[in-house]
Amino acid sequence: MLHTVFFDLDGTLTDSAPGILACVRYALDKLGVEPGAQVTAANFIGPPLSTSFSKVYGLNSEDTARAVAYYRERFSTVGLFENSVYPGVPQMLQALRDAGKRLVLATSKPEIYTIRILEHFDLAKYFDEVAGATLDESRSDKPAVLRYGMELCGIVSGEGCAMIGDRASDITSGHSCGMLGIGVLYGSGSLEELQSADYLAATPADIVPLLLGL
């Protein structure tokens, strides 16, 4: 029986693309790099930020670190609130809590920003634990974040757990921790990249009957 549900944040609970992409453009401008057409949700929502800057623009380690610092310069004051909760998300989370499920937020976004976002949008009250990345990226990839979330819950096995997210990395990370992987189709990911998901949900409302049936 499913007892614990791990949720991604960006593209799963909130539409954070406007703020994230504006901060990416700000960072690239300060770095003197032409953004081109690569500043997309698919490229910059999901993986750790340093991975995206390095992979998409071929930046070396020094310039990647500068890009991340410039990004956070804007994100920490403005960008994190250029965001909105997907319709139906609060109702979905409340229904799962009412059904006795333990809810954990698991994201590659730094935990310090994650908590501020959850509190700003009145979502913190739904979660038993919040597992995010560290600012120094010593904990940034999704498997490490999930293992940290499991530790917070005192869970040693992924059996009875599910990871819900909009990107392939959410699904593969959940599987690597022994969890079910559930993909949402309304976020930044594509149907193609979510083919490895055990189940798919087209809307937040679809998540409730799906999980309660497991």
d(CA 128, CA 116): 16
The answer to whether 8 touches 165, Cβ cutoff 8 Å, is: yes
Q: Which of 8, 15, 170, 206 is catalytic?
A: 8
Q: Is 15 a catalytic residue?
A: no
The answer to whether 140 touches 48, Cβ cutoff 8 Å, is: yes
Neighbours of 154 (CB within 10 A): 6
Q: Which residues pair with 181 in a beta bridge?
A: 163
DSSP H helices, the chain, are: 17-31, 41-44, 49-57, 61-75, 89-98, 111-120, 142-153, 168-176, 204-212
Catalytic residue list: 8
